[in-house]
Structure 1
């Protein structure tokens, strides 16, 4: 009886569409390398109308912030060339699903410079948590410097020289094996190189990560893996609504490729839920309305053809199926001004 009730609820489309968000799984931390600048996380962020690019080292917590006048792929590649020429080429670069990181130009650049690009699941910022944490730290410092009218680079320099409570070493010491000189007076002995060949900072960092994972896993529960062909509900980004879908492929790091409405999406297990509701089959040219991207896609049509625009969840999407021709009305006649009136002399003064 209980199993029948469970199957009935799983097969209810209304119940599947309004179910709560998926629970947290045990922490799956990134592997931390022992050498600096081997694994780097990248992300764009905005502060007071200006765009920035942050690169955070997974091993030392050292980050580089670049003011970006443009956030195009070419600007990203130019900044990567500059930073990699200064610190070296990392083995792995962890990024989100931004179009700049998934472009063909950036993929070609990664192949030429011989580093691996790991793309996190869309709408799952926790997967690129190192870069997200760096963004939060930099934004807080920029806001404080803006309110106090101080130089933000001095604040970043002080942060780089501040020892961590977990390891006892600062990001500068772990990155360059010495402290960075600051405007304040400092003893020259403190600026001497001190190479940590025993890996004391690395061991303390790993121990702190284990403690963090243990506390995080107290309120988590492992979820059973999904297989190809499983019927699932796909959570709509930014809401608690769900749409039916089907698992197509299993990807690394608890990610899956799901097909819904004729379109395929990469989602983390956190945004999926097993269900018995069969997926709907809308026309192939129509993407599910609540999963459409925020852009206009124009079909190859003549200038006289109108494009039906639908507004769904704050997204403007063009439909290439509308073929109606709009009825254009003639422009209204403007009022006649005194200077444009036709001059008509009196009849009494006309020549006979």
Structure 2
């Protein structure tokens, strides 16, 4: 049976305040409420379609910008839909039979969102169970037997194997079967080994060609090696928390927000986690408002972190996020302190016990996978569990050797111009690091080594440390080569005035004046 099928259906009555909304406000409220109810299914959906029988919503929820919406209520409703990607289509009310019928179906009046929390728990549990089941199936180790089994059921693989075995290729690519044209350019690099197709390039390691059925499982295994985390917001007893879990090891961090979950507060906590564990390559989240705000998005961009919002592209990430929230709720539900605080012994011991607990199907706890040993908690443990495992030392030594080899200096590229060192006392142009213009000049005062020089800038007289790359020697140099121009010698003191006494005055004083 084709066509559309109902996956989720719901409705509610209006509150006393909402009953006074204008028609367009009420219709926009309905769309916003529906998106919120089904957000676990709608977030990240690339081809989401919203059908409404109120034509003004097509333009309002479509490409109209927030600055063009003057109605404050419509502005806030439109703002709540920005985290979704959707198209709006108009359907006349006479053809919108199902929604029109359900909206008029008589039912007992109840408060809006009376069962929202319970419905959210049920939806979350269902999604987590489904994704966890898919994850368990996709985490099986791939071996040759598994590849052979999948290859025997794939007609395209069998047809390609027959071509490779006898090397029966057409002279031109257009003459080949359509499903085999993608392999035509690599036909000389394909061979058969024990009924499996092998790809070899320039004497490299042979690689198995797998069927399309196994592509997703291999991609999952490749992503497992990336530094990825899951972040999600949760509410418990009126308090807001954030769960931050490592995708690979399962290490869990929980933060409490007693004064609200603003973007700046979330960024402050994330920056602390990045400093402690390093910035991840990928963060998976369910698309909370403050986790995808402009300020938070800019923070992730500066740290080089990719944000994954869509469960359609990577469903395991969303499952891990929801599982982390479930775990965090279970841990802190009965262990929080006064005012929902996590700064208490019960919450700390509960988190420590989780980090020391072996997950199902694993022989290492999150603490052992992260730091190589168990953590001291409230449960007595043999002392040898607190020691770092021996193979960790070997891995660290091998890693240091590999890093030392990779960090050896490479010879300069061919044709690179040699930059001569600067001498103390020469005048240079200084490049502005922002505008890239050579708009300042100065005098080389001191050479600090490693291509660094102290420059006394003209005008301000400030001494700045600059790299040789940002310095250019002036063609006209002053005649002196001293580092600092000599200070002018102070002017000699003004000679004292000497008076000569007339000869007759001396005679007068001495009493020898002739009469």
Greater helix fraction, Structure 1 or Structure 2:
2
Which has the larger share of strand?
1
Greater C-alpha Rg? 2
